[in-house]
A and B are shown apart, each in its own frame.
Chain A
């Protein structure tokens, strides 16, 4: 089971994640993709299937957030 190094919640590996691995490919640290952008002040843009931006993070700051509320 992977735990996000930023928010502390469990990572569902089927939903995508960011990993830092050792030389043998073992995961030593993992983040939700959004948490990785927030934690490391990075950019992230995600689109829905119609090309609309669901979420945009610029240098760790959320600038567009069209996620459904139930997804947090």
Chain B
């Protein structure tokens, strides 16, 4: 399958665009936070992301979005330049599609579950572009 894709025009376009992107659908229990792969933003900007809340009960996510930091470990502490857009309602979604200039060296997507006991199902995809 991958070989077929690599022979296709789609692969050439993807290589030409040279974007960094990812997608995940994840379930978290209460008070858990998922942090995605750290992206080195040198030469890149956040192009956009989309978060969908698939939960019904409990449904209230605490937060989701993109965090920025000056160091790869996001320690001491992460910069306050969080781009947050959180779908709190069941079946709700939130997104950012405007290009955001990188003001920090590193970024990562994140999703914080709510505090009510249960499983929170959320999907997210994100794109960074040169």
Contacts and interface: CB of A to CB of B under 8 A. Distances in A.
Interface residues of A, number: 24
Contact of A50 (B5, B22, B72, B73): B5
Interface in A1-54: 13-21, 25, 33, 36-37, 40, 42-47, 49-52
Contacts of A15: 37-38
Interface of B: 1-2, 5, 10, 14, 21-29, 31-38, 72-74, 77, 108, 119, 121, 123
A61 to B, nearest CB: 13
Contact of A33 (B1, B2, B34): B34
Contacts of A40: 29
A42 B119 contact: yes
Contacts, number: 71
A19 B33 contact: yes
A13 B33 contact: no
B31 A21 contact: yes
Contacts of B5: 50
Chain B contact surface mostly: strand
Given A14-B72, A18-B34, A25-B77, A37 B24 contact: no
**What DSSP secondary structure best describes chain A's contact surface?**
mixed
A20 B1 contact: no
18 contacts: A13-B35, A14-B37, A14-B72, A16-B108, A17-B34, A18-B32, A18-B34, A19-B32, A20-B31, A21-B33, A36-B28, A40-B29, A43-B25, A43-B27, A44-B25, A47-B23, A49-B22, A50-B5
B1 A44 contact: no
A19 B74 CA distance: 13
B96 to A, nearest CB: 20
